Each structure stands twice: as C-alpha cells, then as structure tokens.
Amino acid sequence: MNKKPLYNNQITAKEVRLVNETGEQLGLIPRDEALALAKEKGLDLIQVTEKVDPPVCKIGDYGKFMYSQQKKERKMGGDKKHAGELKMIRLTYNISDNDIETRVAVAEKFLLKGGKIKIDLILRGRQNAVALSDFGKQKINKLIDSLGKKLEIKIEKPLSKEPRGLSMIISKK
C-alpha cells in the first residue's frame, strides 16, 4: 500500500459502508454519523477501500491499522529482494580444500537471503580434457556436499559442460 488510507475528516464521501472494530458490518451510514460513532469510542474512522461506491470504512486505531498494514507488506515481501539475484562462485581446477570451505561460507550467506548461486569451475587447456573433467566434477561435488551439510539445497540446473568448464545453478529449498 503505497498511498496512506484516508481517515476521519479526510474522508470526503457523504455515505460510507461501515465496519466496526470487531469486523461486524453496520451497513450504509452517513459519514458524519460514522465519525461520531468512532469519536464516541475514542477511535478513528479509516477508509479501507475507495474502489467501491460508497467506500468501505472501518472503526479502529489509525496507528495500529498502519502498523498492521506495514507488517503485512513486510511479510509479503519476505526475501524477494534477493529472490531473482544470481551470484556466481568461480572455482579453479587447482582450488584447495580451505578455499572451497571459504566459498561454502559465502554461498551459505547468500542462499539464506533467498538468492541463487551459479557455480562455475573454470578449466583451461588440457584441464578441459574429458579424462580430467571427472576431477573437476569431484571439486564441485565437494562444494555441494559441504553446503548440503549446512542447509538443504535444490539443484536448479544440473552440472553441465560448457566451453570454458563446468557449471551448475543451486538454490535453497
């Protein structure tokens, strides 16, 4: 909700469809009468929707209403800011075990934020030979196994041979 809802005297409609604080519908009531009811209870008259005629208004605390709306938006938003992001982790043929563990830690942080990770193993020259690429697969599998022990992962794109090496895409389940 980008626009703040109208409340109390900001509501311009002559007649409103009123809902009380418990959610019970009170029907069509003139705006002034609805305002008087809200003031009598020490609450605000909040315009919930303006798409219908007459607009739907609710009796309630404006501050609490705005807080609950923001909370809903945050819950709906969740990890969406990282959901479409793709982070790339590059490995080389001669990568050490300690460097793999470092890459696992970086990958884990990003996966927990909801992102996807593309793992690339760069093979050059003779490393790209078919016989040696099995060793490359072992390096990637070592990274996947280490990451799998820390959190559940899902393989988006299986391990595949590319012109410059091996590649796969993973995400968190």
Whether residues 162 and 88 share a domain: the answer is: yes
Whether residues 151 and 109 share a domain: the answer is: yes
Instruction: Please tell me the total count of domains within the chain.
Output: 2
CATH code, domain carrying 21: 3.10.20.80
Whether residues 39 and 98 share a domain: the answer is: no
The CA distance from 141 to 150, in Å, is 14
Residue 31 domain flag: yes
The structure's pTM equals 0.51
How does pLDDT run across 33-79, given as a tens digit for each residue? 989 988 998 898 998 887 888 889 999 999 898 898 888 888 776 55
Whether residues 106 and 163 share a domain: the answer is: yes
How does pLDDT run across 107-145, given as a tens digit for each residue? 998 888 888 999 998 888 777 676 456 787 888 889 999
Strands 116-122 and 153-162: unpaired
Closest listed residue to residue 59, CA positions, set 31, 100, 82, 96: 31
Residue 70 domain flag: yes
Whether residues 68 and 97 share a domain: the answer is: no
What integer best gives the mean pLDDT of the chain?
84
3-class DSSP assignment, residue 75: helix
Whether residues 66 and 84 share a domain: the answer is: no
